[in-house]
Amino acid sequence: MRVLITGGAGFLGSHLCDRFLAEGHHVLAMDNLITGNVRNIAHLAGNPNFQFIRHDITNYIYIKGEVDAVLHFASPASPIDYLKLPIQTLKVGALGTHNALGLALAKGARFLLASTSEIYGDPLEHPQIESYPGNVDPIGPRGVYDEAKRYAEALVMAYHRVHGVDTRIVRIFNTYGPRMRLADGRVVPNFIAQALRGEPLTVYGNGAQTRSFQYVSDLVEGVYRLLLSDFNDPVNIGNPYEMSILEFAQVVNDLTQNQGGIIYKDERIQGDPQTRQPDIGRARKVLNWEPVVNLRDGLSQTIAYFREVL
């Protein structure tokens, strides 16, 4: 296949580039580098099956020749980014998705949207299943990301129903691994950076809020299987193993042998969900997929990456 990956220089996008190239496909990576970085794809320079295109997809997308699949992964994805770039986040979810879908329609390409567990908001249902419509505050500070993705999902389904575009929607739960930005504001790089510096890990509130963490290779496997499937409705891809932020901090301190301990702060971003756990029954049934990388193994590889970065 000839595949376009928007956000291809980002954390997830760059790993997807690697996977599709490894499977023998031709990859076009498109990114405006607002949060992506060419370092993530520098190792692909010179690969005859790879091309990088610097472009803002909120503007018209032109690609010469055939395109068999469009994977739309362009968007700020961490709170520190979308709180700083609220309008850009909304535009890439709306205009960017519209342009990417228009390209897929024109080329007769399959389309896959990178959606998010954040479309469930601060959930009143636990764990979160794809049929749950969510509990989102549209005017809160996190609403720019949550609603951008919810709108993008609606637009994808409209193109599927009206124009017959062959679409996929993946709802991605917390994913970590090499190539995350050190200062992207999410808990994994925050904790690892503090631990490697010998500092206490900062836990907001009492640390009882929960998350589920999946290693990036598990996410990439799920996305690849979803694209090749014939399933059009949203699919959760995440690790159903749930743990508290406090437990997670203790694991990071243990793996890094950090003696700094833990400090507690009261600050919390408005709308920050208290629980997050995917129901992956649909992924198991439709894709025969579930995560295989153990948390401690995945964190060890991620810590090794951040040691080099620091």
Catalytic residues: 145
Nearest to 190 by CA among 245, 257, 237: 245
- The distance from CA 50 to its chain's CA centroid, rounded to whole angstroms, is 22
Could you give the CA distance from residue 41 to residue 156 in angstroms, rounded to a whole number? 28
* Rounded CA separation 303/184 (Å): 15
Give the contacts of 80 (CB within 8 A, at least 6 positions apart): 183, 184, 185, 186
- Which of 217, 235, 123, 215 minimizes the C-alpha distance to 174? 215
User: Helix, strand, or coil here: 292?
Assistant: coil
CA-to-CA separations, 241 to 26, 45, 187, 212, 214, in angstroms, rounded: 35, 37, 17, 6, 9
| CA dist., res. 168 & res. 159, Å (int) | 11
191-225 burial, b at 16+ Cβ within 10 Å, e below that, comes to bbbbbbeeebbebeeebebbbbbbbbbbbbbbbbb
CA–CA gap between residue 12 and residue 36 (Å, rounded) = 10
User: Which pair of tokens denotes residue 10?
Assistant: 């980002």
| Element spanning 172, H or E | strand 167-172
- Return the bridge partners of 72, or none: 6, 113
Rg of the chain over all Cα atoms, to the nearest angstrom: 19
